[in-house]
A and B are shown apart, each in its own frame.
Chain A
Amino acid sequence: MKITETIDIRFPKTLAEALRLQAGEKTRGQLLAGGTDLMVQWASGAPTPERATSIWNLPELDAIEIFDDFIEVGAGVTHAFLRDAAPIHRHLPALVAAAATIGAAQIQARGTLGGNAANASPAGDTAPALLVSGGSVLLASRSGTRTVPLDRFWTAYRRIDAQPDEIIVAFRLPRKGSARERFRKIGTRRAQAISKVMAASRIRIVKGRVTSAAIALGSIAPTPVRLSAVESLLVGQKLTPALIDEAEQLAQATVQPIDDIRSSADYRRWASGRLVRDALENL
């Protein structure tokens, strides 16, 4: 018998049913969306849970809704769907670029935005793009819903601000408006690679001056992070070559990456600065 067959997986058909299961200590299970992370972990020998609750294909988690100021993306939306969705291209282009770098077609067809966020890997590809939007996560439980700002959602290495009875239902992501976005991932190869470092940015320039700046990096800290020191340096300034030099150096001085199997701390620090430069030179 294969290891995943030992797990008692429930398949609720509605969000209400899933929330009911998660509300009870004896019925609650490990939430399982597209399985592109969890099935891999289980296959590679990670401890398996007694129970799992499948939230793949729940109709309530599937929508992309457009509001005046933000886009609400259901947690069950796949990376393949994000890549094909015109409103995401228009209002959240860094998220499209991030989704396109995940795994390859087979993984993008199953991996979900909610799953990527819940997995809370520091190398989660969509996290920096979500962070620069300045948006929030919508969580539901049987007792109600609450929102958590994305910059407080990833609390520690592989930890999220969610209670055991809560399910991520959607992301409220402010539209970029006149700002420019960029996303770049550095990995060993273009597909099927986990990043060494990656960066997303959303920068608005009005009459030659930076009026707002959001820059986020992945794979350089226990959680995805915003580079607030660099952002503060930029706001109100003209993007001169000297300022870009300064931003690159400040990024390198600020980050505290580690050595691991995918890269070294030194390379990651250097590349963090280069990615900040890349974002500012390609607006």
Chain B
Amino acid sequence: MSTLKRTWKVNGQTVPIRAPAGRRLLDVLRDDLGLVGTKESCGEGECGACTVIVDNEPVVSCLIPAGQLPDGTAILTIEGIEKTRIGRLIQRAFLECGAVQCGFCIPGMVVSSYALLVKNPRPSTPAIREGLAGNLCRCTGYTKIIQAVKLAAARLPKRK
């Protein structure tokens, strides 16, 4: 098995990667880099718990072999998102709306919410539902999660 030698930008920092080419991005993040905020639930791309942002697109990290990400790939995980202004707004809104119960799906929910709000700062309710459709939550029933994304959107700094 060939060992991969890559350099990615993870949460803004340049990070050397040494891993088998077929290792899932999820395992590189959690096991090699210790970024355990990204969760594994289904491992089959259905639930969205392992969502991260790769080159500005939300993806499920359980379905990406590390070798498919070239040098210079920009990866943003929940640990990076919580250091951004939008990320903190989303976190606070989730807390205030009571959008978190067991919490296991929440890092993925926050990552998908972030990806949505960066692209569409004033999403309609159907747009929020679609933006989060790839993230499953078995506790909340989604209502408060959707309220939280709306609240975060309303608090976003106004842009021209």
Hey, which bits of chain A sit against chain B, CB under 8 A? 1-2, 4-9, 11, 32, 34-36, 39-40, 43-44, 52, 54, 56-57, 80, 103-107, 109-110, 190-192
Contact = CB atoms under 8 A, between A and B. Distances in A.
B25 to A, nearest CB: 10
B63 interface: yes
A39 B135 CA distance: 18
Contact of B21 (A9, A109, A192): A9
Contact of A9 (B57, B59, B67, B131): B67
Given A43-B44, A106-B59, A2 B24 contact: yes
Given A2-B23, A106-B48, 8 more contacts: A4-B22, A35-B63, A35-B65, A39-B62, A39-B64, A105-B57, A105-B130, A106-B134
B8 to A, nearest CB: 14
25 contacts: A2-B23, A4-B23, A4-B65, A5-B20, A5-B23, A6-B1, A6-B22, A9-B22, A35-B63, A35-B65, A35-B68, A36-B45, A36-B63, A39-B63, A43-B62, A52-B22, A54-B65, A54-B67, A56-B68, A106-B45, A109-B58, A110-B59, A110-B64, A191-B130, A191-B133
B56 to A, nearest CB: 9
B48 A11 contact: no
Given A35-B63, A39-B63, A191-B130, A8 B58 contact: no
A57 B68 CA distance: 8
Contacts of B115: 105
A2 B20 CA distance: 10
A57 B45 contact: no
Interface in B1-56: 1-2, 20-24, 27, 43-46, 48, 51
Contacts, number: 98
A5 to B, nearest CB: 4
Contacts of A52: 22
B52 to A, nearest CB: 9
A53 B133 CA distance: 31
A240 B115 CA distance: 47
Nearest to A191: B133
A4 B63 CA distance: 10
A271 B45 CA distance: 28
A214 to B, nearest CB: 28
Given A6-B22, A9-B21, A39 B59 contact: no
Contacts of B43: 43
Given A4-B23, A57-B68, A110-B63, A192 B57 contact: no
B103 interface: no
Contact of B133 (A8, A44, A104, A109): A104
Contacts of B133: 104-105, 190-192
Contact of B134 (A35, A54, A103): A103
Interface string B94-111: 000000000000000000
A80 B43 CA distance: 22
B1 A11 contact: no
B60 interface: yes
B77 interface: no
Nearest to B60: A106
A107 B61 CA distance: 11
B70 interface: yes
The 10 closest A-B pairs by CB, nearest first: A104-B134, A191-B133, A109-B57, A39-B63, A4-B22, A104-B133, A5-B20, A5-B22, A106-B60, A106-B134
